[in-house]
Amino acid sequence: MTDHACQILSVEKAFGQNKVLRDVSMELPKGEVTVLMGANGAGKSTLVKILCGVQPADAGEIRLFGEIYAPSSPGDAFEAGIVTVHQSINDGVVPDLDVTSNLLLDRLTDSTSGFFMSFKKMHEEARKIAAAMHFEVDVKESVANLGVADRQMIAIARAMASNPKILILDEPTSSLSAVEAERLFELIDHLRNSGVAILYISHRMSDVRRIADRIVSMRDGTISGTFEGTPLDYEGAVTAMLGHSMSEVVLNENKRGSAALELKDIRLSEHGEPINLTAFRGEVLAITGLLGSGKSQLASIIFGQVKPISGEMFLDGKKYLPSTVGNAIDEGVFMCPKDRASNGVIPDFDITGNMTLPFLQEHSRFSILSSRKQKKLAQSMVSTLGIVCRSEADEIGTLSGGNQQKVMVARWLQKPCRVLVLDEPFQGVDIKARRDIGSHVRETGDARATIVFVSELDEALEIADRIVVLYEQGVVGEQTTNDIDLAVMHAQISGQTPAGVVAG
């Protein structure tokens, strides 16, 4: 009996002339967490789709517990014990159903489950599944009414409840708070101890350090390195992924200009502390904090999606209170929202259409749209941000998650603005894509104020001149990145500022 739950042997896959996977061989040992790292476009998603029966391999073979495994559908993979939680949250839940139906969906579609079902028993079973995740939710609530983090927890809980033999998790913590992520890690520990093989796809070093038994790096459709033993060589894994060493990021100092946006006594809730902030031209200001700290709510207030409980905003010294998103855009305040699947990407549009959508008037004359102008701008942004595609006419759904994110950022960088707000711009993107986006944001920021909302501190350090920490909807700290005390900032983020330290 093999100790490998799954063996991938010389697997290849091509789409037309594009070879996405080339002679890929790797193992998933039982009772271990294998972290798969790779830049966007390296082939990770294609490999996962082959494993879970969405696409067939062109060559090579896969062995599951020593037997040949060639699934023709996701149903085949599920019956074989391979359960996947995809990066796109909407692939893991059905918004039109309630929480109970989502958690029990796999059982409801099982022909052996019978025709008649007791809703009372279903709700009880759903509560047990949620409780196992320490997940507090009304199981009768429609998933459409839940936020991104709750949807992610439902997708993960449903996977955990299926008693998987092999569990594939693709960026599972991207929408989770630190507390929710730790609950997930504890469940992963339990599954690992029970012999489940886990393939964990992530670029978050905090995740990798917490759970990885081994790391496999991919680059350009091939396996570029496998790292095992104690301690794990994280730097080596990143180097294998990128093809070059991961040097320290050196930020060219941006010259701070005049105040662009001022927040005075802005309250996010009735009992929240007043927030006072100023964002300056030429500066990149990062606002970080745990999920629930108020980051996205503050971003939405700046962009006119919601109104603050109290307080005032000023744009170039004049009172600014947008009643709609359109008002904000007219005033020169742009925002790239988080959760591109729900709030950004238009699936039926190609890259050009997605990129130019908010500013079609800029590409038209006498109400006639100029496809030539659209194409020219899209080609320029594809080149500038290094978007991996065949052409700007590719459908957006053919791109990897990281390249879709680049398109969303490009959408709001195509035209000058006074304030650019980026809410979790690096969600689901690899280190290289993160740096491509960050470099361009800094290089183009002289005439505007840039505010970046991020959950990961290392992301803030790579892009910002100044970092502000939110905790429980109030500012608890502020430091410049050229003179930062990481211990203090970590304490502020977690709400455990050391005694004697004055936040900010």
Render 407-462 in DSSP notation, one character per residue. Answer: HHHHHHHSS--SEEEEESTTTT--HHHHHHHHHHHHHT-TTSEEEEEES-HHHHHH
Per-residue pLDDT, averaged over 314-343, amounts to 88
Q: What is the pLDDT of residue 251?
A: 63
Q: Where are the domains of the chain?
A: 4-242, 259-345+416-493
Q: What is the pLDDT of residue 89?
A: 61
Q: What is the pLDDT of residue 504?
A: 42
Q: What is the pLDDT of residue 39?
A: 74
- pLDDT, mean over the chain: 84
**pLDDT tens readout for residues 467-489:** 999 988 999 999 988 778 877 88
| Higher pLDDT, residue 305 or 291 | 305
Q: How far is CA 120 from the centre of its chain?
A: 36
Q: Does the pLDDT at position 344 exceed 80?
A: no
Same fold, 4-242 and 259-345+416-493: yes
Q: What is the pLDDT of residue 492?
A: 86
**What whole-number distance in Å separates Cα of residue 92 and Cα of residue 105?**
10
Compute how many other C-beta atoms are within 10 angstroms of the C-beta atom of residue 265: 12
pTM above 0.75, yes or no: no
Instruction: Indicate the range of 246-260, 330-344, 390-404 predicted with least confidence.
Output: 246-260
Q: Does the pLDDT at position 26 exceed 60?
A: yes
**pLDDT tens readout for residues 194-221:** 899 999 998 777 788 889 999 999 988 9
**pLDDT tens readout for residues 74-131:** 889 988 999 888 776 666 688 888 889 888 887 765 555 554 567 888 888 888 888 8
**What whole-number distance in Å separates Cα of residue 157 and Cα of residue 104?**
10
Which strands make up the sheet holding 466-471, listed edge to edge? Answer: 333-336, 419-423, 449-454, 284-288, 466-471, 474-480
Q: What is the pLDDT of residue 236?
A: 86
Query: Strand, helix or coil at 397?
Result: helix
Q: Does the pLDDT at position 168 exceed 80?
A: yes
Closest CA to 396 of 383, 382, 416: 382
**pLDDT tens readout for residues 260-279:** 999 999 999 888 899 999 99
Q: How far is CA 337 from the centre of its chain?
A: 12
**pLDDT tens readout for residues 412-434:** 888 899 999 999 888 767 777 78
- Tokens 């896959």: give the residue: 13
Percent of the chain with pLDDT over 70: 88
Q: Does the pLDDT at position 1 exceed 60?
A: no
- Please name every residue paired with 83 in a beta bridge, in sequence order, or none if there are none: 167
Closest CA to 177 of 126, 141, 136: 136
Which CATH class, in words, describes the domain spanning 4-242? alpha beta
**CATH node for 259-345+416-493:** 3.40.50.300
Distances (CA, A) of 197 to 33, 133, 134: 6, 19, 23
Q: What is the pLDDT of residue 115?
A: 46
End-to-end CA distance of the chain: 59
**pLDDT tens readout for residues 359-411:** 766 656 655 666 777 888 888 888 888 888 888 888 888 887 778 888 888 88
Per-residue pLDDT, averaged over 287-307, amounts to 90
The DSSP code for 220 is T
Q: Does the pLDDT at position 502 exceed 90?
A: no
**pLDDT tens readout for residues 445-473:** 899 999 999 987 778 888 999 999 998 89
| Higher pLDDT, residue 236 or 253 | 236
Q: What is the pLDDT of residue 63?
A: 95
